[in-house]
Chain A
Amino acid sequence: MERSPSSVGGNENLNNETLSKLSKKAREYIIRMVYEAKSGHPGGSLSIIDILIYLYYNEMNIDPTNQNYEDRDRLIMSKGHASPALYTTLALRGFFPQELLMGFRKINSKLEGHVHRGVPGVETSTGSLGQGLGIGLGMALAGRLDHRNYRVFVILGDGEIEEGNVWETLMGANKYKVSNLIAILDRNRVQLDDMTENVMPMGDIASKVRSFGWDTMEFNGHDFNEIRKAFEFANQKRDGPVFLIANTIKGKGVSYMENTAKYHGSPPANQEEFEKAIKEIRDL
């Protein structure tokens, strides 16, 4: 199946400068949300945000004014703790008002701590790791059965892929040759307890995944030129699934959050840290 962007839906084709501005705005929201909630996961949100912004503005066929049209591309945030990044992107893109973002994790808000299907634009709830790729396979199979042209994007964490469920689906997607399934690995090399290499050495992920029958490509997940190339690669005509490996930095944009597990699931510890984070993001 040729994956050409369909005419329906919003594909804004923004230039790098505009994308960078949006990313900065999103990063600021991410920090504000977790600081206001006094909980949440900034590290893995900051590592994936550039890719999300690119997908929702330049790549995916979506329509915020007609959110559930049947041919829309689907995105599954399998690492559901990166909810601040997904919620922010959806709000910026017009799926729901940005004012709602500050209700994140509060009792009277729909913005559940982990990605929740009750939020406009969210395709499936996630939060228990390792399940999203299988859900993506199911959606891809349904799209093929229904002769629909949509693609399914699944965002995975590099700690997350330690789950057996992921490797079971890597086998299944190859068996069924779903060419409309695109996995994106947020390879930030840090998980919850420690560096991924210390918790579970993953070795050469690209060659492992290739040996399961997937096409792969590695790219810099913070560089919009490289992100663009990665999705051009994904869109080439092929007869099986694609696994894109985004080399990223956990906590990207806030110096004290970068490359550490300390801010995996903790907000800025105090007002001073909060202000430092906002300043650094504005100076990016």
Chain B
Amino acid sequence: MVSESLREKYGEMLVELGAKHPEIVVLDADLSSSTKTQAFGKKFPDRFFNMGISEQSMVTAAAGLALSGKKAFVSTFAVFLTRTYEQIRQSVCYNNIDVKFVVTHPGITVGEDGATHQIIEDTGIMCGLPNMRVIVPADSIEVSSVMHHLVEKTKTPYYVRLSREKFPVVNDSDYKFREGRNTVLRDGSDLTIFSNGAMVGLALQAAEELKAQAIDAAVINVSSMKPLDRENIVKYAKSTGHIVTAEEHSIFNGLGSRVAEVVSEEYPVHVYRIGMRDTFGKSGKSWELFDYFHMGVKDIVEAGIKCFQKEDDYEAVS
């Protein structure tokens, strides 16, 4: 599988869509060379605002722009956006306006920059906000489709989470993102692995290894974290009876929690959650960190096998 950068694709799409949509404005906070909004800034300097290292000013100005008819894309590192949580809540979500937060460098794929930068609680924070919708794309193809969706079909707040690393391309080239719809990347009858973002590629590898253990695992991309595809989750809970979730995020308030909420209401089955287990990250090479925090392919495979063991030694975190 070829790997491609999601944030590079975001930068390209801003330029492409910006040419057709004069209402698009872009704001950044001194990270435009990393979030890749810089390209838009070069092409459309009048519609690009580098607000300096002033995230609160950036978010409130974006609210003002949106309240005045603009479609505002706001970018910085995921962790630094959260210092404006309350501005996002009051000025953007409560107003229910056209501000798109497209953030980069979440989770442990940040790598060497370390714990301060590796936010693992952001999708939980954002899913909790009324009117906010949350998308975690799995590859560059999905990023471009999501960007069309945001620009052409929506006028309300969104949070889009793009990891720093390049990810393997898992979607077909004609893939179309559909809000509130999961994508079945690999069908299976024994077990379902729900994942998104960085974990999709790992989940696909894990499913391949599980095949060798005679376990037929489905792999489903839950890029639309909110709204959630309840129907698809329940369908696979019923058809496979076992669920593993895998996310580059805390197991609290993330994908695993969301899936568990749905099945516990509609069709309870055992859910094993792979993710950060109530701990901060640390510096290291990003792919080393997956193993360090028990979120690697091997760990997904083990969780899959445990589904079929009577007694398990799964350690719960509370």
Chain A positions near chain B (C-beta within 8 angstroms): 37-40, 80, 105-107, 109, 111-114, 116, 125-130, 159-160, 162-164, 191-194, 199-200, 261
Contact = CB atoms under 8 A, between A and B. Distances in A.
A126 B112 contact: no
Contact of B116 (A107, A126, A192, A193): A126
Contacts of A107: 282-285, 288-289, 292
A115 B50 CA distance: 26
Contacts of B114: 105, 112-114, 116, 127
B53 A128 contact: no
B88 to A, nearest CB: 15
Given A107-B292, A160-B53, A192-B33, A37 B80 contact: no
Contact of B113 (A114, A126, A200): A114
B50 A199 contact: yes
Majority secondary structure, A binding face: loop
A159 B31 CA distance: 12
B112 A125 contact: no
B75 interface: no
B56 interface: yes
Contacts of B79: 128
B115 interface: yes
Nearest to B34: A192
A126 B56 CA distance: 19
B306 interface: no
Contacts of A261: 33
Nearest to B281: A112
Given A192-B31, A193-B33, A159 B116 contact: no
A205 to B, nearest CB: 14
Given A125-B116, A193-B28, A193-B31, 7 more contacts: A37-B112, A39-B111, A39-B113, A105-B114, A193-B50, A194-B50, A200-B53
A230 to B, nearest CB: 25
A127 B33 CA distance: 18
Interface string B17-45: 00000000000101111100010000000
Contacts of B80: 128
Given A126-B116, A193-B30, A112 B52 contact: no
Nearest to A198: B50
Contact of A112 (B28, B30, B55, B282): B282
B264 interface: no
Give me the 5 closest cross-chain CB pairs, A-B, nearest first.
Answer: A127-B116, A107-B284, A200-B52, A113-B114, A162-B52
Contacts of B53: 129-130, 159-160, 162-163, 191, 200
A38 B32 CA distance: 21
B242 interface: no
B117 interface: yes
A113 B283 contact: yes
B57 interface: yes
A37 B112 CA distance: 8
B54 interface: yes
A200 B54 contact: yes
A91 to B, nearest CB: 17
Contacts of A194: 50
Given A37-B112, A107-B288, A162-B53, A113 B30 contact: no
A199 B33 CA distance: 12
A106 B52 contact: no
Contacts of B282: 107, 112
Nearest to A160: B53
A81 to B, nearest CB: 8
B83 interface: yes
Contacts of A191: 30, 52-53
A104 to B, nearest CB: 8
B116 A164 contact: no
Contacts of B283: 105-107, 109, 111-113
Contact of A193 (B32, B115, B288): B32
A103 to B, nearest CB: 10
Contacts of B288: 107
| Most interface-central of B28, B53, B56 (chain A CB within 10 A) | B53
| Most interface-central of A38, A40, A114, A125 (chain B CB within 10 A) | A114
